[in-house]
Amino acid sequence: MDALTMKKAAGEFAARYVEPHMLIGIGTGSTAYWFIQALGERVKQGLQIQAVATSKESAQQASALQIPILELNDVDEIMLTVDGADEVDPQLQLIKGGGGALLQEKMVAAASRRLVIVADERKQVQQLGAFPLPVEVIPAGWKHVRRRILEMNCSRVELRGYPQPFVTDHGHYILDCYFGQIEDAHALNISLHQIPGVVETGLFLNLATEAIIARADGSIQIIRRES
């Protein structure tokens, strides 16, 4: 399988997890796209569900497929969220945010009973950090935040989209932080949040309950977090 086929396989497999009358969270990105497409086919066949989207892009895709969209503020608990990831380690700790929707993704994940990650085998890592860590920041002070992050043994920090900065759905900028290897993700997450101007980080820790990994040989691997 090539990368596109693996993404499609993982997304379509995850659509089987959705049961009638579920309130679900729908992720953002190239693998979550296929989950939403498969869900749309099931809705066309009569499946009744409601969904909370993690981005305007996903909301538009779902709405076009007649999947009813609710606002996060209008729900108490989401039964199941399916989303992608940029890196997945053996303990199901994640780096997310490559698609620029990390703030809404994390809010939806935190409101979910289950977070199932869909990915292809290239996203599996033994240690987080090879993928640059996205950090969402307030535009007014991004240079100050960048300087503080560089002081944290980060080799390079880039403003996404510079000189025309990428703007998130919530009106923020994203700094892509090249840490190389993250030895202690929990400590780093806390340290980043202590910098004034940081809105959220792409470290998704102790949130994922399961991962669906599509492999090049056509197989699907299910990884569950140990409780």
- The CATH number given to whatever domain includes residue 192 is 3.30.70.260
The answer to whether position 22 is within a domain reads yes
How would residue 226 be classed by pLDDT, with cut points 50, 70 and 90? confident
147 domain-assigned: yes
Three-state SS annotation for the chain? CCHHHHHHHHHHHHHHHCCCCCEEEECCCCCHHHHHHHHHHHHHCCCCCEEEECCHHHHHHHHHCCCCEECHHHCCCECEEEECCCEECCCCCEECCCCCCHHHHHHHHHCECCEEEEEEHHHECCCCCCCCEEEEECHHHHHHHHHHHHCCCCCEEEECCCCCCCCCCCCCEEEEEECCCCCCHHHHHHHHHCCCCEEEECEECCCCCEEEEECCCCCEEEEECCC
| 106 in a known ligand binding site | no
Does the annotation list 99 as a binding residue? yes
21 within domain boundaries: yes
Residue numbers of the domain that contains 89:
3-123+205-216
123 is known to lie in a ligand binding site: yes
CATH of the domain at 100: 3.40.50.1360
Structure confidence by residue, pLDDT tens digits, 101-144: 999 999 999 999 999 999 999 999 999 999 999 999 999 999 99
Query: Do 139 and 187 belong to one domain?
Result: yes
Could you give the residue numbers annotated as active site?
Answer: 105
Query: Are 190 and 81 in the same domain?
Result: no
Do residues 86 and 22 both lie within one domain?
yes
Mean pLDDT of 183-200: 98
- pLDDT band at residue 227 under the 50/70/90 scheme: low
pLDDT tens digits along 41-74: 999 999 999 999 999 999 999 999 999 999 999 9
For the chain, the domain total comes to 2
The answer to whether the annotation marks 86 as part of a ligand binding site is yes
